[in-house]
Amino acid sequence: MIVIRKVDELRKYSIEQRSKGKTIGFVPTMGFLHEGHISLITRASVECDLVITSLFVNPTQFAPHEDFDSYPRDFEHDYNLAKNADCDVLFVPAREEIYPEGATTSLSVGDLAYVLEGKYRPHFFDGVATVVSKLFSATLPNKAFFGQKDYQQTLVVKALSKDMLMGVEIVVCPIVREPNGLAMSSRNKYLTDDERNKAKILFQSLVATKEFIESGERNRKKINAYLHDSLRKLESLKIDYALAVDASNLEEPNEFDEGSEIVLLLGTILGKTRLIDNMVVKVPITKYNEDDRFQIGLK
């Protein structure tokens, strides 16, 4: 595995590899890698000839009151994990490589960026869109791999690649969870042992609500109420949002259609730690036997 720190050097490498017919998979991260990141690198190594992983804590997606300065960083830890996962290139740019002095250009991805997570972090998705576009320009990937845990972000990045004609296929990979169900995140480091144990309620609530939907419930307000009731069992959990939306566009119909996909989205704070999670649920299709259909036809 090689380490590249300069954009020009990385772009030259990628152009050379693509000229040889190699496919490039890209895994953008903010470092402090965990098993969730490793699953992305592993998936990329299966689907592509070469894997580039970036380590860059992006300043434009942090508000002034957020944890940019304290965000966990450990290059040696990240280097060893990425190397063992068969990463080919570790891209570790300095801030001025991604945001040169005097740079003023940024991207906005529209309404999708200002609901749910974007409502509580209005700077966030524009920062994501801007840095991802820069990283795509540096790495020139065929595919980019993102985790489902950041569900809204995956929709934003898909829209970015499509709208800006980038031609990068966005591959969304399953959430990797801790033994108690907590979605893996670099920010889990901030949790105390007691908070980490209590945080299992997020996954438990998602599973319970999934079963509620699969039992036949399609009314959005009833689904949301069920999810909230489950989460409120942990009084110390602050809920920014917890709701069911259309998985393709985050819209909120009164009733979900049979056979459609719902995503249950959570944005919460436990102690001082922001925790997000989600679960995709397929709305069951009502099945009738022949006698039922005959009786319905007579009415």
Look up the CATH number of the domain holding residue 132: 3.40.50.620
Q: Point out the domain boundary residue: 149, 173, 197.
A: 173
pLDDT given at position 64: 82
pLDDT given at position 265: 98
- Given the DSSP bridges, would you call strands 2-4 and 50-55 parallel, antiparallel or unpaired? unpaired
Residue 289 lies in a domain: no
Spatial CA neighbour of 147 closest among 36, 62, 33 = 36
Same domain, 24 and 165: yes
Same domain, 25 and 153: yes
Same domain, 104 and 211: no
Same domain, 108 and 6: yes
Same domain, 49 and 104: yes
- Using CB atoms within 10 Å of the CB of residue 134, give its burial: 0 to 12 exposed, 13 to 18 middle, 19+ buried: buried
How far is C-alpha 249 from the chain's CA centre? Answer: 15
**Number of domains making up the chain:** 2
- Using CB atoms within 10 Å of the CB of residue 91, give its burial: 0 to 12 exposed, 13 to 18 middle, 19+ buried: buried
Residue 254 belongs to domain with CATH number: 3.30.1300.10
pLDDT given at position 298: 43
Length of the chain: 299
Spatial CA neighbour of 136 closest among 63, 56, 36 = 56
Residue 297 lies in a domain: no
Same domain, 250 and 128: no
pLDDT given at position 288: 57
pLDDT given at position 212: 98
pLDDT given at position 123: 85
pLDDT given at position 113: 87
Using 70 as the pLDDT threshold, list the residues of the chain that sit under it: 288-299
Active-site position among 34, 37, 77, 228: 37
- Given the DSSP bridges, would you call strands 143-147 and 261-270 parallel, antiparallel or unpaired? unpaired
Its domain, for residue 23, covers: 2-173
Query: Please, what is the Cα angle at 37 between 48 and 85, to 5 degrees?
Result: 55
CA end-to-end span of the chain, whole Å?
A: 70
- Is 77 one of the annotated active-site residues of the chain? no
Whole-structure pTM value: 0.92
Edge-first strand order for the sheet with 169-173 is 2-4, 89-91, 50-55, 24-29, 143-147, 169-173
Same domain, 167 and 192: no
Same domain, 81 and 229: no
Residue 209 lies in a domain: yes
Q: Are 48 and 23 in contact (CB under 8 A)?
A: yes
pLDDT given at position 170: 98
Same domain, 206 and 108: no
Residue 191 lies in a domain: yes
Residue 227 lies in a domain: yes
Rg (CA), the chain: 21
Same domain, 140 and 214: no
Residue 266, both tokens: 């959570």
Q: Are 87 and 53 in contact (CB under 8 A)?
A: yes
Dist. CA 257–CA 264, nearest whole Å: 15
Residue 257 lies in a domain: yes
